[in-house]
Amino acid sequence: MKLISWNVNGLRACLGKGFLEFFQGENADFFCLQETKCQAGQVELDLPGYHQFWNYAEKKGYSGTAIFAKEEPLSVAYGVGVPELDTEGRLITLEYPGYYVVTCYTPNAQEGLKRIDHRMAWEDAFRAWLTGLDAKKPVLICGDLNVARTDIDLKNPGPNRGNAGFSDQEKGKIEELLSCGFTDSFRHLYPDVTGAYSWWSYRFNARKNNAGWRIDYWLVSDRVKEQIQEAAIRSEVFGSDHCPVELDILL
């Protein structure tokens, strides 16, 4: 089974930068998007063979997620089940007979960590949601989780220590989540690889110089981690300030 996740940083813009060509060339079983930045009716995609699921933010041109799936799910859930956290279209969960697929766009703590309290509330609700699913069947979780786990997950850890995406609070929350029974698929296969990033600032020629961060993930329930065949960071794909990340797994 092949699954792809991509923060497209505005789907309408990405459509003009080769999105459909990439989508059609991959033939993935699941294609999960974050930061779609659109409302219902603003984007109509003709994707034969795929079921489409969209979660829109109430605020126009902001956040949003989508999943395009070959197989129709048993059920679909939008959000983490906490009304005050579910206005920004950040989570979609598809249920299948043997597993769940979840796409997530984690809130950014923002400059000066001014939204860190909201971020921490989201992290706790997200972890509770995932552990509830995991108690029933394995979960495959993807998305822009807006955190680099360790120093090797970003080019310049020193100057960024304590900043949004690399604060102790955020790093602590992803480790807490993993300790509840989930595996970072890329680090499971490539524990020591450096220079592997999924997001680059548009400033300072960051992508050209590979001055990036690894903040896009595929996490899986621990009990299926040995079934991971590949966890690829598709840095050759342009169209956004993020690149797609891929999971190939036998389920």
User: Which positions are annotated as active-site residues?
Assistant: 105, 144
CA distance 130 to 180: 9
CB atoms < 10 A from the CB of 220, how many? Answer: 28
CA distance 44 to 42: 7
**217 backbone φψ class: left, alpha, beta (φ>0; ψ -120 to 50):** beta
Selection from 63, 130, 64 nearest residue 101 by Cα:
130
246 contacts: CB under 8 Å, gap ≥ 6: 2, 3, 4, 5, 28, 218, 230, 231, 232, 233, 234
